[in-house]
Amino acid sequence: MNLQFIADGLISGSLIGLGAIGVTLTYSILRFSNFAHGDLMAWGAYAALTVLGAISALLGTVAPIGMLSFGWPLVVAALVAMALVGGMALLLDWVLFARLRAKGQSIIVVMASFGASMALRSLLEFSFTSKPEYFSRAIQMALPVGFGIRVTPDQVAMLLVTLVLVTSMHLFMSRSQTGREMRAYSQNPALARVVGIDVARIVRATWLIGGALACAAGIMVGVLVQIRPLMGLDMLLPMFAAAILGGIGSIPGAVLAGLIIGLSEAAAVQLIGAEWRAGAAFVILMAVLLIRPAGLFGVSER
Amino acid sequence: MTPILDVRGLVAGYEPGLNIVRGASIHANEAEIVVVLGPNGAGKSSLIKAIAGLVPVSAGQVLLDGQDITATPAHLMVRKGLAFVPQTENIFPLLTVEENLRVAGGVLARSEVSPRIDEMFSMFPDLARQRRLAAGSLSGGQRQMLAVARALIVRPRVLMLDEPSAGLSPKFVEMVFAQLSQIRRAGLTIVLVEQNAKAALAIGDRAYVLVEGREAHEGVARSLWDDPVVAELYLGHRRAS
Amino acid sequence: MIDLLGYAAFFLSTALILGIITLGLNLQWGLTGLFNVGIAGFVAIGAYTSAILTTPEAAERVGGFGWPILAGWVAAMAITGLAAGLTGFATLRLKSDYLAITTFGVAVVVQLVTLNAQGLTGGPFGVAFIPRPFASLAETPVAFNFANLAVVAAVTLVVYLALEHLSRSPWGRVLRALREDERAAISLGKSAKSYRIQAFAIGGAVMGLAGAVQAHFIGFIAPNNYLPTLTFQIWAMLMVGGAGSNRGALLGTIVVWAIWVGAGAFSSALVPTDWQARTAALQIVAIGVMLCVILLVRPNGFFGGRRRK
């Protein structure tokens, strides 16, 4: 049996997990499932692409780092794009979500996120057309790593970046005061106010982090696969499934569940056929909802 | 003597036109335990929440040490020196005991937090032993202790508690109330809303009886317990329930 | 003039079919407060069910059942209602967001099946030769268009009256109580859930019926007819019309569809061909922004009449 699918599944699963962190944070802190989260990913990828284009227009081509397909300009572009998308998420909250949250019906906020998602995605299609784009057209050789598995240097690099981001997120949530406040707020918003937590600050932090992580995940999908306006929409179901399987609010849960879903998708490709890949997330979602809606690390249904 | 906490003619309610607190005036002096009693639905809980900034205030004033803090956003109240312990769900169950204190310590200067947590742990040794456990695993009495410790960590001028005895066994009620009178001896002002009149009046200095959203009686705690009118009002309610 | 009349009939038929979908959504959302983001999926289930059951034999997929059109429609309602009921059963004891996410998943999976289960759905090529009512009139387009309009209008009327009746019945009053008063929902406990599942299933069945009617109206279906944009348009129609009112749902549909078709005609007449894909995208942006603005400033829509809490 070809074990390649395990490597593929882990890599795409880590990207799903990274995106799911944002979904789970928004859900547990702002109390709604954000259907526009996938589109923040896509905007992130296009933002990085635009910045990258600007850098190469100014400085010409820059040699790639080591065996990777990209050089430092993409790293810079990624950081700029993360700030931009974080800011965009804040703006979206200020213009739309905060106003609707104030009215108190969370499902209306979900609906607005659905409308915003459609608008954001089509705006990308308008600006960049639906033709796929790439950060680099260089062809990378996949290197054998044993057991008949081959990986490209880019894949290894993205896996490492994900590991770094997830670890820092975990440390941030467990060790920093803002992280503690975010967890406290997600457990009991009213009590959080009583103990002096500034809700507006928590909301801002959530959007900034969620947006920046979505952007990072989008850029990584762009590096490993391609950039399309629909890339975020395609990731939405796996990300929701991962957030729910992991247990809403749990960051390690979201990441682990992302890996499980990535592996299941890869297994579905291997065993059933590539065209059925997207069904894996749905099957897992239904199984979780029927068997254990609190998810792997969830406490209880709120 | 000017009171530390002075509430004047407070009118408050969750919905406009539906006021539950209807012109209540109470005050609390330095290092005093003030008890607020009253039948169910008298608006005791809403009064204390309105003072804490959790129920919209439509008229009246709240002065803390002479400073007008009426309708200050709830999260700024601790910074003004007013700490509040809600009746239920007053801890973060998934944070550890220590994290519960640390998260509330965000108001303090960074260097002050750890020493202050140690002080709290020496005041509540029971909590110190369980500092790394999730707060949700504590017993009812310990939760109440943690909630009080969490409120005290910011060195408030006034500590307000909403029915701290609710759901506790008599042994724990005694423990919590003993702890409160000890805290008062350290110079803190305490405002206590209680159903358990007997236990509350035993540690209280002064008391108010709240009826239909405003104070109907005020007096020295011990004498209020013996006051036939109050007994009638208060016990009458108890007989009816 | 004759052409214009024919076109008006065609436009109205299309709008009314969308109106039936909106009526189904109004039962789910307007009356019961259930959020469905997978409308396109449920419409597709109805369309494919009826198409597969009524079409003549085709070499590359199951078929040749040759059912009468009406039987196909009934089957479409049954199957779609069942699918919606199962979705509701799996999620309605949980927080409302889970229903939204699951319906989204249903639409994704239906899209997958229509594209890939070629033996059942014909894959990307879809199903052709779906029998059309009054096919014998196809020689005279105007008569044909009006005959179709009559059929669609009759179905719309029946669905409208049935839903009006349902929403006024004791059953409908329970649903409204459930949505407006959380305590009523809690006191009803388990049966509250079953009421909601029923409403979601019936709403789904109505969407399935609309899908089937549309399939027989056009005579040909393909996966591309059931993209998320459809879901989105239906939501815009209901929100413009005013959730909670069946009349508003129909009026909102016609208005939004007229704007949509008008904008499309405008752009194809004035915009150069290589920009048309882009203006189509811009049309969706405009509808998205409109939906958000309505939620912000006029959550009761324009034609609802009755104010919702």
Tens digits of per-residue pLDDT, B137-166? Answer: 998 888 999 999 999 999 999 999 999 888
The per-residue pLDDT for A60 is: 79
Whether the per-residue pLDDT at B1 is higher than 80: the answer is no
Between CA C241 and CA A293 the distance in angstroms is 35
The pLDDT of residue B198 is 82
Q: For chain A, list the contacting chains (3+ Cβ pairs, <8 Å).
A: B, C
Q: What is the DSSP letter of A114?
A: H
All residues of chain A having their beta carbon less than 8 Å from the beta carbon of residue B49 are none
Return the percent helix, strand and coil in chain A, to nearest 5: 75, 0, 25
ipTM of the shown complex: 0.89
In this structure, what token pair is assigned to residue A200? 């507006």
Residues from chain A that touch C95, judged by Cβ atoms under 8 A, are 301-302
pLDDT at B171 > cutoff 90: no
Distance from CA of C93 to the nearest CA of A (A): 10
Q: Do A111 and C295 touch (CB under 8 A)?
A: yes
State the average pLDDT for chain C.
86
Contact list in A for residue C296 (CB cut-off 8 A) is 96, 99-100
Confidence at residue A301, expressed as pLDDT on a 0 to 100 scale: 40
Looking at the predicted structure, is the pLDDT value of residue C253 above 80?
Answer: yes
Query: Does A128 reach chain C within 8 Å, measured CB to CB?
Result: no
Contacts of B54 in chain A (CB under 8 A): 190, 193-194
| Residue closest to C48 by CA, chosen among C78, C81, C76 | C76
Confidence grade of residue C190 (pLDDT, cut at 50, 70, 90): low
A237 and A278 in contact (C-beta within 8 Å)?
yes
pLDDT tens digits, residue range B179-202?
A: 888 888 888 999 999 888 888 888
Contacts of A107 in chain C (CB under 8 A): 33, 35, 96-97, 100
In this prediction, residue C183 carries a pLDDT of 66
Q: Chains meeting B at 3+ CB pairs closer than 8 A?
A: A
Q: Which of A33, A95, A284 to mutate to test the interface with C (most CBs of C within 10 A)?
A: A33
Gap between the Cα atoms of B19 and B12, Å rounded: 5
Render pLDDT for A151-202 as a digit per residue (tens, 0 to 9): 888 898 999 999 999 999 999 999 999 999 999 999 999 999 999 999 999 9
The answer on pLDDT for C305 being more than 60 is no
Chain B interface includes A205 (CB < 8 A): no
List the single residue in C105, C283, C295 with the smallest CB-CB distance to A237. Answer: C105
Contact C231, C40 (CB under 8 A): yes
| pLDDT higher than 50, residue B240 | no
For chain B, how far is it from start to end, CA to CA, in angstroms?
40
Q: In this predicted model, what pLDDT tens digit does every residue of A86-111 receive, in sequence order?
A: 999 999 999 999 888 888 777 888 88
Mutate to test the interface with A, among B69, B77, B101, B103 (most CBs of A within 10 A): B103
On whether the CB atoms of residues A270 and A277 are closer than 8 A, the answer is no
Inter-chain touch A196–B150, beta carbons under 8 Å: no
Share of chain B residues as helix, strand and coil, in percent rounded to the nearest 5: 45, 25, 30
**B233 confidence band (pLDDT: 50, 70, 90):** low
- Position A296 scores a pLDDT of 85
Does C104 contact A130 at a Cβ distance shorter than 8 Å? no
CA dist C240 and C229 (Å) reads: 16
Query: How does pLDDT run across C11-31, given as a tens digit for each residue?
Result: 899 999 999 999 999 999 988
**Distance between CA atoms of A298 and A283, rounded to whole angstroms?**
19
- Does C touch B (3+ CB pairs < 8 Å)? no
- Contacting residues of C for A121, CB less than 8 Å apart: 284
Domains parsed from chain B with CATH numbers: 5-90+159-240 (3.40.50.300)
Per-residue confidence (pLDDT) for residue C184, from 0 to 100: 67
The per-residue pLDDT of chain A, averaged, comes to 90
B87-128 pLDDT, tens digit per residue, is 888 999 999 999 999 999 988 888 999 999 999 999 888 899
Q: Tell me if A48 sits within 8 A of A37, measured CB to CB.
A: no
Of B154-163, C51-60, C111-120, the poorest mean pLDDT is in C51-60
CA dist A55 and B202 (Å) reads 75
The amino acid present at B71, given as its one-letter code, is A
Our CA-based measurement puts residue A8 at a distance from the nearest CA of chain C, in whole angstroms, of 21
User: Using CA atoms, how far apart are residues C30 and C250, in angstroms rounded to an integer?
Assistant: 13
Task: Return the domain boundaries, chain A.
Answer: 29-235
Specify the pLDDT at position B34.
93
Q: pLDDT by residue (tens digit) across A34-75? A: 999 999 999 999 999 999 999 988 887 778 887 888 888 899
Instruction: Please tell me if residue A294 touches chain C, with a CB cutoff of 8 Å.
Output: no
| Confidence at B168, pLDDT banded by 50, 70, 90 | confident
Give me the amino acid identity at B53: G
Listed by number, the residues of chain A in 196-235 with a beta carbon closer than 8 Å to a beta carbon of chain C are: 233
Residue found under tokens 């943690």: B146
- Per-residue pLDDT averaged across C96-123, rounded? 90
Q: A187 — contact with chain B (CB < 8 Å)? A: yes
In terms of pLDDT, which residue wins out, C4 or A237? A237
Give residue A1's pLDDT: 60
Is residue A214 very low, low, confident or very high in pLDDT (cuts 50, 70, 90)?
very high
Smallest CA–CA distance, residue A165 to chain B, in Å, is 23
Instruction: Write a three-state SS string for chain C.
Output: CHHHHHHHHHHHHHHHHHHHHHHHHHHHHHHCCCCCCCHHHHHHHHHHHHHHHHCCCECCECCCCCCCHHHHHHHHHHHHHHHHHHHHHHHCCCCHHHHHHHHHHHHHHHHHHHHHCHHHHCHHHCECCCCCCCHHHHHCHHHHHHHHHHHHHHHHHHHHHHHHHHHHCHHHHHHHHHHHCHHHHHHHCHHHHHHHHHHHHHHHHHHHHHHHHHHHHHCCECHHHHCHHHHHHHHHHHHHHCCCCHHHHHHHHHHHHHHHHHHHHHHHHHCCHHHHHHHHHHHHHHHHHHHHHHHHHCCCCCCCCCCCC
Chain B residues whose C-beta is within 8 A of a chain A C-beta are 52, 54, 73-79, 84, 86, 89-95, 99, 102-104, 106-107, 150, 154
What residues in B contact A183, CB-CB < 8 Å?
Answer: 92, 94-95
Give per-residue pLDDT as tens, C215-235: 998 888 999 999 988 999 999
Q: Are C208 and C80 in contact (CB under 8 A)?
A: yes
pLDDT at C160: 94
pLDDT at A4: 86
Inter-chain touch A119–C292, beta carbons under 8 Å: yes
pLDDT of residue C309: 38
Strand bridging mode B82-85 / B158-162: parallel
Pair type for strands A150-151 and A143-144 = antiparallel
Determine whether the interchain pair C100/A100 forms a contact, defined as Cβ–Cβ distance below 8 Å: no
Among all residues of chain A, which has the CA nearest to that of B53?
A194
